[in-house]
């Protein structure tokens, strides 16, 4: 499967995810073990202080980490996730999320996530582990 085919497959999947659709996740790049995405900041995603809500940031991280892990050969489900809120998401048009598989496995995949504002300022880091379910066609190298 080419990078473009992989991107289109996951774009189609995210467009069918009833939890993710209202957030507006836009996939920019998908390849084996890697995802780059962005979300346009909007009032509906903010907390009472006008910052991007921490729950929204976690949701973006979990979804993108899951896609990155899924490119490694299996349909996956989250086992564990932790996020470090380093800086408030404010005064930014977009939230940028980059997820990288740091250890693909036969049973468990480990993924590192970084979330930045549109100026490249690091807002959050996150770590996720995923359990591999049903086999897919793509295999992470």
Q: What is the pTM of this model?
A: 0.92
Q: List domains and CATH numbers for the chain.
A: 3-135 (3.10.129.10)
CA 107/CA 92 separation, integer angstroms: 38
Question: From CA 46, how far away is CA 92, in angstroms rounded?
Answer: 12
Instruction: Place 137 in a pLDDT band, splitting at 50, 70 and 90.
Output: low
The pLDDT tens digits of the residues spanning 48-98 come to 999 999 999 999 999 999 999 999 989 999 999 999 999 999 999 999 999
Contact (CB, 8 A) for 126 and 82: yes
């Amino acid at each position: 499967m080419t990078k473009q085919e992989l991107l289109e497959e996951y774009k189609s999947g995210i467009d069918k995810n009833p939890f993710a659709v209202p957030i507006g996740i836009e996939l920019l790049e998908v390849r084996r073990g890697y995802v780059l995405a962005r979300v346009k900041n909007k009032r509906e995603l903010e907390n009472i202080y006008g910052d991007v809500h921490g729950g929204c940031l976690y949701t973006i991280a979990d979804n993108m980490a899951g896609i990155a892990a899924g490119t490694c050969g299996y349909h996956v489900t989250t086992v564990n996730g932790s996020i470090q809120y380093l800086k408030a998401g404010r005064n930014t048009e977009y939230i940028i999320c980059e997820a990288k598989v740091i250890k693909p496995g036969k049973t468990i995949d480990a993924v590192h996530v970084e979330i930045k504002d549109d100026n490249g300022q690091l807002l959050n880091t996150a770590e996720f582990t995923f359990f591999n379910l049903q086999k897919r066609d793509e295999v992470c190298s």
